[in-house]
Amino acid sequence: MNAALLAAYAVEVHAESGTPWVLLLAGPAGAVAVYWTLFRYYRNTDKSHSFERETLIEAMPVTGQDPKIDTVRGTERREVRGNNVSEHRQRVQRLP
Amino acid sequence: MTAHGSAPEPPIADTSTAQQREADAGTPVVDTANAWLDDGVNRCARCGSTEIQLRVSTGHLVCLFCRHEWTEAHIEPLVAGEGSLRDLTGTVIASGATDLVADDGMLTMKCSGCGAEVVVNTAEATSSRCHWCRHLLTVNEQVPNGAVPDAVLPFSVTRDQAVEHIKLFAQKRRTFAHRRFVKEFTPGNVVGVYLPYMVVDSNASGDVHGVGEVETRQYTRGTGDNKRTVYDADVHRVERHVDLTVDDLTLESSTERAHMNAFVNTNNVINTILPFDTKNAVQWNASYLVGYTSERRDADVAALVPELEDQLLSIVRSQVQSSVKTYDRGVRWEGERLEVHGTRWVSMYLPVWLYSYYHDEGGTPMVHYIAVNGRTGETMGSVPVSQWRLVTAALVTGTVLESIVIAMLGLW
């Protein structure tokens, strides 16, 4: 059973019984976190040159426009769907 | 050119070669050939000795016979001139960065000391000793096989300093390292390598568009266990434009090093020790490489353009980020456009101290590197892990956490 299914099951049980069974996931989650953190500290598989910050860049003031196009009411989403504002290296559709 | 004592003759740019290439290819070529040097015997200007090498503590070339020191001219003024990067248009290529011609890399030089013919495999070295008269022969003319770049950035971190950096890096990662690595770790085996890079100046414009949301209200719905937080938000179409210049963006020009996949190699750790102070790079002189190894360039400008554009797009996205802070629910960028007005390409050897360790685990071989930037001392590496130790640490942590939770829930 993957972690998401386990979490969903625990939340459901929690809702029915009132007991915070979701806390039972702390053990497996902690184990995975420790493994992954240590692995990355040793292997540094996620590291690369931060050329966005460490290169000499001279930019003119950013220009643009922000027309309002819609309103969202009562959504449970905490952020815009597909938020990639900080994912500079994630390419999106290339315009001609 | 700066010099200590009497300096060699200043380089005189031979523009005929550059003009010929420009005419042939239709691309402006800046000739960076070091005109006062040629292939073969290059002597100390003071005493005539060919025993010349880099003195790391000063960054100068030193004659081992009379201790005369000098340095080659900085490459930047030669390729950049007086113009601003904002005026850069088209593609300008320095002569050491022009397209490669496939050959076997063997170069025969006639020793001017004794007349002997000495063969140098430029794929492996740019200098060789005459086996008859012991003169050191160097390759300085820009052979079109990638062995001679436009510029070189000399080492300023000494071997001893590099060994200390590597030792410290590995010591911090001892507990969960693979036992064979710990046993066989020999930091003294560090090698000084000049790795090939293409240093690119760019003048570009970028456009991005997408959708951003601004939260207008946060409230709860439902009661009791069904209570949940919901949000209202205004949705905007967000469009941004930025004009920018990027100075000395550094790209790997060895195809093997440029291939970064953390599952099959550890090239990303060498990439991580960038940047270098490339403004201090000097005109090519093979004597800088004496005592070090080097890897030659095998990628042309055209092959590196996609990577350049990818990095420029990332820079554009990074630059516009501060202008969309009002969108507290984030922005979903959907389209991006890049217009490159001009680029300037310079081929450069940059200094890296490398400790490499071959590790085969379960039939999957991998070379782990610990790399030290030969200028700044920045260190990054990959250490093979002991899987059973990692798993044990994870299981112990998980068990402790789980026991605490079970105790809290009163299940015992």
Asked if residue B258 lies in contact with residue B299, where contact means CB atoms within 8 angstroms, the answer is: yes
- Would you call B177 helix, strand, or coil by DSSP? strand
Count how many Cα atoms sit within 13 Å of the Cα of residue B193 in the half-sphere of its side chain: 21
Average pLDDT of the residues of chain A = 86
Do A23 and B238 make contact, defined as CB atoms within 8 angstroms? no
Of A31, A69, A78, the CB nearest to B394: A31
Give dist(CA B308, CA B204) in Å, integer.
11
Give dist(CA B336, CA B187) in Å, integer.
46
**What token pair was written down for B279?**
């403004």
Is residue B142's pLDDT more than 80? no
Mean of the pLDDT values across residues B2-10? Answer: 40
pLDDT band at A4, cuts 50/70/90? very low
CA–CA–CA angle B177, B180, B182 (5° rounding): 50
Do A72 and B269 make contact, defined as CB atoms within 8 angstroms? no
Tens of pLDDT, residues A50-66: 999 999 999 999 999 99
Q: Which residues are CB-contacts of B54 (< 8 A; sequence separation ≥ 6)?
A: B60, B61, B62, B154, B155, B287, B288, B290, B291, B292
**pLDDT at residue B140, as a whole number:** 79
Give dist(CA B192, CA B210) in Å, integer.
47
Q: Which residues are CB-contacts of B14 (< 8 A; sequence separation ≥ 6)?
A: B31, B33, B35
**pLDDT at residue A32, as a whole number:** 96
Asked if residue B96 lies in contact with residue B151, where contact means CB atoms within 8 angstroms, the answer is: yes
Taking CB atoms and an 8 Å cutoff, what residues of chain A touch B404?
A: 26
Tens of pLDDT, residues B323-378: 999 999 999 999 999 999 999 999 999 999 999 999 987 788 899 999 999 999 99
Please report which residue ranges of B45-185 form alpha helices under DSSP H: 76-80, 159-171, 179-184
Do A43 and B333 make contact, defined as CB atoms within 8 angstroms? no
Give dist(CA B412, CA B410) in Å, integer.
5
Tens of pLDDT, residues B286-329: 899 998 988 889 999 999 999 999 999 999 999 999 999 999 99
What residue ranges do the domains of chain B occupy?
40-65
Q: Which of B244, B248, B219 is nearest to B231 (CA)?
A: B219
Taking CB atoms and an 8 Å cutoff, what residues of chain B touch A20?
A: 409
**pLDDT at residue B279, as a whole number:** 95
Residue of A22, A39, A40, A83 to mutate for B, most B C-beta atoms under 10 A: A83
Residue B117 or residue B336, greater confidence = B336
**pLDDT at residue B109, as a whole number:** 77
Asked if residue B344 lies in contact with residue B88, where contact means CB atoms within 8 angstroms, the answer is: yes
- Closest A-chain CA to B307: A89
Is residue B124's pLDDT more than 50? yes
Give the strand pairing for B151-152 and B331-361.
Answer: parallel
Is residue B42's pLDDT more than 80? yes
CA distances from B106 to B21, B91, B186, B276, B297 (A): 23, 31, 34, 31, 16
Q: Three-class SS string for B254-297?
A: CHHHHCCCCCCCCHHHHHHCCCCCHHHCEECCHHHHCCCEECCC
Do A56 and B246 make contact, defined as CB atoms within 8 angstroms? yes
Neighbours of B125 (CB within 10 A): 18
Say what the pTM is.
0.86
Nearest C-alpha of chain A: how many angstroms from B278?
A: 11
**pLDDT at residue B23, as a whole number:** 45
Tens of pLDDT, residues A37-48: 999 999 999 999
- Phi/psi at B5 (5° precision): 75, -160
**pLDDT at residue B43, as a whole number:** 86
- Would you call B386 helix, strand, or coil by DSSP? coil
